[in-house]
A and B are shown apart, each in its own frame.
Chain A
Amino acid sequence: QSALTQPASVSGSPGQSITISCTGTSSDVGGYNLVSWYQQHPGKAPKLMIYEGSKRPSGVSNRFSGSKSGNTASLTISGLQPEDEADYYCRSYAASNSFGLYVFGSGTKVTVL
């Protein structure tokens, strides 16, 4: 079993919307509604942006939204802003013998053009 698959990079202009995909299997993403998304700026700790697939923690902009279809979860950033430029990781509950409780995605670098 490998990390969840994300595109290596996604880019967009300020004000545009972008979507990052996170593809797993029926044993992780598809089997549970327990995908979370994290934003990480260079040299900083990750920050929780979405939990339980589509819920936002207090203080996270409503420009960030999450969804899921089958074995693929998605993070959409609307009204892209320069401060959104960062790495983004999905994480899913997996509860597998090899992966333990959770597995991360491979990460996506978002560039604001």
Chain B
Amino acid sequence: KQEVTQIPAALSVPEGENLVLNCSFTDSAIYNLQWFRQDPGKGLTSLLLIQSSQREQTSGRLNASLDKSSGRSTLYIAASQPGDSATYLCAVSSRGPTGANSKLTFGKGITLSVRP
């Protein structure tokens, strides 16, 4: 059974700091890994998707890496801003119980607060 862990549950940093959010998963047989952002009372916004054959993806100030063999991913946020304050969720897609389908397994998320 796939399990995804994100530690710590919350993080507070001053504006301008570079930071790393960690995600670990127990089963390395994944199809892809997706990082989401959730603002309070809002839905999930996809930030980056890394396919299982890839090592990293970049979008603006965000860089996500994937080490499938060790079951780890990191989301690097450069020069953090107050607008980056949100909950960041990591999710992996892997084969479902019947073998023919797949689903996302989520971590609990990391609530980030960037102080002005």
Are A and B physically bound partners? no
Interface positions of B (Cβ within 8 A of A): none
